[in-house]
Chain A
Amino acid sequence: MHTATQRPSRIGARDHLIGAALTAAYVAVLLATSSTLGMARDEGFYVEAAESYAGWWRLFLSGDESAFDQATIDRFWTVNHEHPSLPKSLFALSYLAHERFDLFSNDSAAFRFPGMVMSGLVLWILYLFGARAYSRHVGLFAASAYALIPTVFYHAHLDCFDGPIVTMLTWVTYLYWRSLTEPRFAVLGGIAYGLCLETKHNAWILPLVLLVHFVGFVVPAELAARRAGARPKISLRPNWLIGFALLGPPIFLALWPWLWSDTIQRFGEYAGFHLNHVHYNTEFLGTTYFGAPSPTSFPWVETLFTVPLVTVALGVLGIVVRFRAMLPPGTLRIWPARADGSSIGPDAQRTDALLFGAMLAPMVVLSMPWTPIFGGNKHFLVAFANLAIFAGIASQYVLHAVRAELKEARPRWLPVAFPAVFLALLAPSIHETEHSHPFGLSHYTFMAGGPPGAADLGMMRQFWGFTTGSLAPWFNAHAPEGSSVWLCDTIPTSFEMLHRDALLRRDIRAAYDMGSADYAIVHHETHFNEVDYQIWMSWGRPAPVHVLTYDGVPIVSVYENPHR
C-alpha cells in the first residue's frame, strides 16, 4: 500500500504565499457576504465592549496620560470583563480606523473585520501545518475543507471569539510542534500562547494536551531512539512550556488593562464566570437539556450532523490509515511494521498523535456529563480544524487511486486529476456552505437529512437570535411608519446595528414591552415556545403574519398586534 503522503523537502516563501492567498480569499468572501448576516446576540455585547474600549484607545492614542489611571481604565474596560480583551480591542481599533478612513461598507463590517482576519488566518496555519507534516496537498485540502464547513463559515463572519480562538489554538499547537525540533520556536510559541490566553478561555486546557503529548509520546520515543543509537532530534527540555510560562501570563496581563489592578481578585472573577458557567437550554435529539448531566454524544453527533459527510468520512479514514503512527511509544510492537517497509510509522514529533489529541481534547471535555451545555458546535471548532488535516491525508489517497486508474485507462487526463478530485471531494462542502448562508447556525448536513431532517430529529435550530437580520427586508416592506418590534432573543445593540448598517428602516424601532409593541418576533427554539404563547395571550391571536423559513423549517415567526 502506498503511504500517499510524503513530507515536502522545503517549505518556503511560495508556501506562505499560498497560505496568505487562502486567508485573503476567505476574508474577501466573508466581507462580501457579511452584510446579509444580521448581528447575533453576543456580537451586540462585543460591539458594546468594543465601543467602550475604543474610548480608552482614543485617549491612549492621543497621548492622554489619564488613560492609565485606574478610574479611567475601569470606566472603559469593565464592560464584558468575563472575556479577555484581545479580539475586542481589535474590533475597537478596526472601528476607530473605519471612523477615520471610512474603510468598510458599514459599521458591522468594521467591527467584524478583525474576527474575519483572525478566523481566516487559520487557513494559512492549516496549510503550513499540513504541508510541513505531510504534503502540500494535505495542507491545501485541510485548509479548504475546514473553510467550507457551514458553521465555520458562519462563525468566521462574527465579531466574536470562536473563529479567532481556533486560529490561536492551532497556531500555538503548530509552534509547539515546530519547537520540538527547533527550540527557537518556543519563544514564538510563548508569545502565541499569551495571545491565545488573551483571546478566549479555551486556551486554558491546551498546555495539558501538549504536556500529555510531550511526556507520553515525544519524550519516551526520543529516549528510546537515543538508546537505539540515533542522534538526538528532540530536546528533552520542555522549551515550549518554559516559553508558555515565561511569556504567556505577562502578555495576557499586559494586553488586558482591566486586570492591571486587583489582579488576583479580578482574575478570580473572570475564571469563576467560566468555571461556574450556567447551562444553556439546548435541544438535542428531541430532548431539551437545561442542566447536568449533559449528553455524552453531543459533540460527536453535532460533528456528524454539521460537518459535510465527505469531510467527516475522509477525516475518519485519515485517522484510520495513520492510526499506527498514533500509538504510544512501546506499543508499536503490537502492530509490527511490514517487511516491505510500507507501514506507516510515527515521526520524531509524533505528529499524528498530536493532531489526534488536539482534535479529541475539546470533544472529550464537552462529552463529560458535568460540563455545562454551551450549545452548538462553536466550542469545538478546533476539532474540525484537526479533523480537516486527517481529511487531507485521506484525500491524497483518493487522488493516488484516481491517478493509478487513469494511468492505465486515460493517461491524457492525469494532469487534471488533482483539481478534479479536489473539487469533487469538496463539491458538497461548497454547495452546503453557499446554501447555508445566512442561516449557518440552522444548517444541518445531508447526514441529518438537511434542516428538515434535523428538525424531525429534534436538533437545536438556532441560538443567539442571529436570524433577526434576515427579517429586515420583510419589515422594510410591510411595517407601517414608526412601527415597534418586540425582539425576543436579539439584544437592542444588535438590532441597532441593522439601523447603523442601513439594512432596516430607521423608523422601525425596538419595543421593550410585548403587550404594546406593534410586532413581536419569536426565534424558534423549543424552549422559546413560551414566548409564542405569551404573544397569543397578549394579542388574542395565535397566527403569525410571516414565518421566516430555511429549507421549509420555521426559523422566526412574526406576529402583528391586531390592536395597534
Chain B
Amino acid sequence: MHRAWLLFLPLAFIELVGSLVVRARVPAEGDWHLAADHIAAEWAEGDEVTVAPRWADPLLRQALGASMGDAFTNELAAPAGLEGRTRLWVVSIRGRNSALTPNGAPEHVESFGRVRVERYALGGRPLLFDFVDAIEAAEGSRGDRACTRTTGRASGGGLGAGPVLAPSRLSCGGEMVAETVIEDLHFEARRCIAQHPVSGDPVVLRFPEATLGELLMVHAGLHWVDERMLEGSPVTLTVRAGETEIGTITHHDGDGWATYPLTVPPESRGAQVVSFEVTSEQSAGRSFCWAARALGGAP
C-alpha cells in the first residue's frame, strides 16, 4: 500500500518537466515578425487577416504594424465581416484554428518557427460599395435640419468611456454620427458607423453616390456594456434606396454583432442614393453601430 505514495515523485517530475515544455514551446517574437513580413510581401487588395487563438491578436498586430506600416489599418484589425474579401490569411500558434477559417484546403501554407501561416481563397461575391469607407461622403439630417460635418481630434477614452468616434463627424442636433470601432458583445473589434437612436426625429444618413448590387450585407451591434444586461429596447435600422425600402433589421440585446443579408430588388441596383435610419423606443445606452457592404452577383 505504501508504494502508491511513491507516485508523487514521478508526478513532481512530470509537473516540472511539463512546465519547462510549456515554456519551450512559446513562439519567439521573431517568428511573428517573419510571418508578418511574409504576409506583407504577399499582400493583395481585398485580403483580410486573422489570428488563432484570439488572445494572440496583439502579437500579430504588432508584427503586421512593423511589416505593413500604415497599410495595416483599423479596417483590417476590426473587420465587420469577410464578405467582399478575396483572400484570408490565417495566422496561428499552438495548433489552434480560427472560427473564420473557411472549409477546404488552404491555397498556401508556410510555417515560421512556431507560427503557422495559411492563406485561403474566399471567392465570394465582389464588393461594390463599402458604406463605412464612404462615411466621409455621407450627408445626414434630423427632421428638417441637415447635419453639419465637424472635424477635430478624437477625444475620450478609458475603461467604461465607450467607443471613441473618428475626428470627422456629422453633428445632427447634438447627436454625432461617425466611424468608430466598438467592442462587441464578445469583445471583438468591429469597425462601423455609430448612429444611435435618438428621441424625436431620427437621424437619417444618406450616401448620395452609393452603388447597390444583388445583396446588401448589413452588420450591426452595440457596445458590449450597453447590450450585456439584455434589457434595452430593440433598435431598428431601415435601409432605403431612393424612396424604396430595401429592408428593415431589428437588433435585440443579446444578438451581439449580427449579420443581416438584405436582397436588393432589381430596380434598386446600380447607382443610388442610399439612406439609413435608426430608431428605438429608448435612446439612452443604445450605442448602435452598423456596417454595410453592397455586393455583386454570386460568382
Name A's B-contacting residues (CB within 8 A): 1-2, 288, 290, 308-310, 313-314, 394-395, 397-398, 400-402, 404-405, 421, 424-425, 427-428, 431-432, 435, 445-446, 449-453, 455-456, 486, 488-489, 513-516, 520, 524, 526-547, 549, 551-554, 557
Whether the Cβ atoms of A542 and B77 lie closer than 8 Å is yes
Given contacts A543-B65, A544-B62, contact A424 B183 (CB under 8 A): no
Q: Which residues of B contact A552 (CB under 8 A)?
A: 26-27, 59, 93
Question: B271 at the A/B interface (Cβ < 8 Å)?
Answer: no
From 63 to 102 in chain B, residues with beta carbon under 8 angstroms from any chain A beta carbon are 64-66, 70, 72-74, 76-78, 93-94, 96
Whether the Cβ atoms of B96 and A456 lie closer than 8 Å is yes
Whether the Cβ atoms of A450 and B23 lie closer than 8 Å is yes
Question: B149 at the A/B interface (Cβ < 8 Å)?
Answer: no
Contact segment of B128-136, B162-170, B243-251: B162-170
Whether the Cβ atoms of A544 and B61 lie closer than 8 Å is yes
Whether the Cβ atoms of A543 and B8 lie closer than 8 Å is no
Instruction: Give A520 to B155 CA distance when docked, in angstroms.
Output: 14
Contact of B12 among A428, A445, A449, A450 (CB under 8 A): A428
Given contacts A310-B15, A424-B12, A538-B157, contact A533 B65 (CB under 8 A): no
For the complex formed, measure the closest distance between the CB of A555 and the CB atoms of chain B, giving whole angstroms: 9
Instruction: Give A533 to B57 CA distance when docked, in angstroms.
Output: 13
For the complex formed, measure the closest distance between the CB of B68 and the CB atoms of chain A, giving whole angstroms: 8
From 1 to 57 in chain B, residues with beta carbon under 8 angstroms from any chain A beta carbon are 1-6, 8-9, 11-13, 15-16, 18-20, 22-23, 25-27, 29, 53, 55-57
Whether the Cβ atoms of B19 and A452 lie closer than 8 Å is no
Q: Which residues of A contact B94 (CB under 8 A)?
A: 452, 456
Instruction: Give A96 to B104 CA distance when docked, in angstroms.
Output: 69
**Residue in chain B with minimal CB distance to A558:** B62
Contact of A309 among B6, B15, B180, B189 (CB under 8 A): B15
Question: B127 at the A/B interface (Cβ < 8 Å)?
Answer: no
Q: Which residues of B contact A288 (CB under 8 A)?
A: 187
Given contacts A431-B19, A450-B22, contact A486 B157 (CB under 8 A): yes
Whether the Cβ atoms of A401 and B183 lie closer than 8 Å is no
Name B's A-contacting residues (CB within 8 A): 1-6, 8-9, 11-13, 15-16, 18-20, 22-23, 25-27, 29, 53, 55-59, 61-62, 64-66, 70, 72-74, 76-78, 93-94, 96, 153-166, 179-183, 187-189, 223-225, 228
For the complex formed, measure the closest distance between the CB of A445 and the CB atoms of chain B, giving whole angstroms: 7
Instruction: Give A113 to B11 CA distance when docked, in angstroms.
Output: 36
Whether the Cβ atoms of B1 and A1 lie closer than 8 Å is yes
The total of Cβ contacts below 8 Å across the A-B interface reads 199
Q: Which residues of B contact A489 (CB under 8 A)?
A: 159
Whether the Cβ atoms of A1 and B2 lie closer than 8 Å is yes
Task: Kindly list 19 other residue pairs between chains A and B, CB separation below 8 angstroms, not including A431-B20, A527-B159, A533-B182.
Answer: A1-B2, A398-B5, A398-B9, A425-B8, A452-B26, A455-B55, A456-B96, A489-B159, A514-B157, A526-B187, A529-B187, A530-B159, A532-B189, A533-B183, A536-B77, A541-B70, A542-B61, A542-B74, A544-B62
Instruction: Give A516 to B76 CA distance when docked, in angstroms.
Output: 24
Instruction: Give A536 to B23 CA distance when docked, in angstroms.
Output: 31
**Residue in chain A with minimal CB distance to B155:** A515
For the complex formed, measure the closest distance between the CB of A198 and the CB atoms of chain B, giving whole angstroms: 32
Whether the Cβ atoms of A401 and B5 lie closer than 8 Å is yes
Contact of A542 among B65, B96, B161 (CB under 8 A): B65
**Residue in chain A with minimal CB distance to B64:** A543
Q: Which residues of A contact B166 (CB under 8 A)?
A: 537
Whether the Cβ atoms of B22 and A551 lie closer than 8 Å is yes
Whether the Cβ atoms of A400 and B2 lie closer than 8 Å is yes
Q: Which residues of A contact B225 (CB under 8 A)?
A: 530
Instruction: Give A559 to B188 CA distance when docked, in angstroms.
Output: 19
Whether the Cβ atoms of B15 and A428 lie closer than 8 Å is yes
Whether the Cβ atoms of B159 and A549 lie closer than 8 Å is no
Among the interface residues B8, B20, B153, B161, which one has the most CB atoms of the partner chain A within 10 A? B8
Contact of B62 among A424, A488, A531, A557 (CB under 8 A): A557
**Residue in chain B with minimal CB distance to A321:** B5
10 pairs across A/B with beta carbons < 8 Å?
A2-B2, A308-B15, A397-B5, A424-B13, A428-B15, A428-B16, A527-B187, A533-B183, A536-B74, A544-B65
Contact of B59 among A397, A431, A554 (CB under 8 A): A554
Q: Which residues of A contact B157 (CB under 8 A)?
A: 486, 513-515, 520, 531, 534-535, 538
For the complex formed, measure the closest distance between the CB of A229 and the CB atoms of chain B, giving whole angstroms: 35
Contact of B58 among A309, A394, A432, A557 (CB under 8 A): A557
Whether the Cβ atoms of B19 and A398 lie closer than 8 Å is no
Q: Lowest 6 A-B CB distances belong to which pairs?
A: A543-B65, A514-B157, A552-B26, A450-B22, A542-B77, A401-B5
For the complex formed, measure the closest distance between the CB of A420 and the CB atoms of chain B, giving whole angstroms: 9
Instruction: Give A58 to B168 CA distance when docked, in angstroms.
Output: 55
Q: Which residues of B contact A538 (CB under 8 A)?
A: 154-155, 157, 164
Among the interface residues B9, B12, B93, B188, which one has the most CB atoms of the partner chain A within 10 A? B12
Q: Which residues of A contact B163 (CB under 8 A)?
A: 530, 533-534, 537
Given contacts A401-B2, A543-B61, A543-B66, contact A528 B19 (CB under 8 A): no
Q: Which residues of A contact B77 (CB under 8 A)?
A: 536, 542-543
**Residue in chain B with minimal CB distance to A425:** B12
Instruction: Give A520 to B156 CA distance when docked, in angstroms.
Output: 13
Instruction: Give A26 to B164 CA distance when docked, in angstroms.
Output: 47
Whether the Cβ atoms of A401 and B22 lie closer than 8 Å is no
Q: Which residues of B contact A394 (CB under 8 A)?
A: 5, 8
Instruction: Give A530 to B26 CA distance when docked, in angstroms.
Output: 27
Whether the Cβ atoms of A553 and B187 lie closer than 8 Å is no
For the complex formed, measure the closest distance between the CB of B5 and the CB atoms of chain A, giving whole angstroms: 4
For the complex formed, measure the closest distance between the CB of A219 and the CB atoms of chain B, giving whole angstroms: 35
Given contacts A314-B8, A514-B157, A530-B159, contact A536 B78 (CB under 8 A): yes
Among the interface residues B13, B72, B164, B165, which one has the most CB atoms of the partner chain A within 10 A? B164
Whether the Cβ atoms of A551 and B23 lie closer than 8 Å is yes
For the complex formed, measure the closest distance between the CB of B186 and the CB atoms of chain A, giving whole angstroms: 9
**Residue in chain B with minimal CB distance to A403:** B2
Q: Which residues of B contact A537 (CB under 8 A)?
A: 74, 154, 163-166, 179-181
For the complex formed, measure the closest distance between the CB of B192 and the CB atoms of chain A, giving whole angstroms: 11
**Residue in chain A with minimal CB distance to B9:** A424
For the complex formed, measure the closest distance between the CB of A348 and the CB atoms of chain B, giving whole angstroms: 28
Q: Which residues of A contact B223 (CB under 8 A)?
A: 530
Whether the Cβ atoms of A428 and B183 lie closer than 8 Å is no
For the complex formed, measure the closest distance between the CB of A67 and the CB atoms of chain B, giving whole angstroms: 39
Q: Which residues of B contact A449 (CB under 8 A)?
A: 22
Among the interface residues B15, B58, B154, B160, which one has the most CB atoms of the partner chain A within 10 A? B58
For the complex formed, measure the closest distance between the CB of A414 and the CB atoms of chain B, giving whole angstroms: 15
Contact of A551 among B5, B8, B26 (CB under 8 A): B26
Whether the Cβ atoms of B72 and A542 lie closer than 8 Å is yes
Whether the Cβ atoms of B181 and A533 lie closer than 8 Å is yes
Q: Which residues of B contact A314 (CB under 8 A)?
A: 8
**Residue in chain B with minimal CB distance to A537:** B164
**Residue in chain B with minimal CB distance to A396:** B5
Instruction: Give A357 to B159 CA distance when docked, in angstroms.
Output: 39
Given contacts A533-B163, A557-B62, contact A310 B11 (CB under 8 A): yes
Whether the Cβ atoms of A446 and B18 lie closer than 8 Å is yes
Instruction: Give A541 to B187 CA distance when docked, in angstroms.
Output: 19
Q: Which residues of B contact A532 (CB under 8 A)?
A: 58, 189
Contact of B156 among A514, A528, A547, A551 (CB under 8 A): A514
Whether the Cβ atoms of B2 and A534 lie closer than 8 Å is no
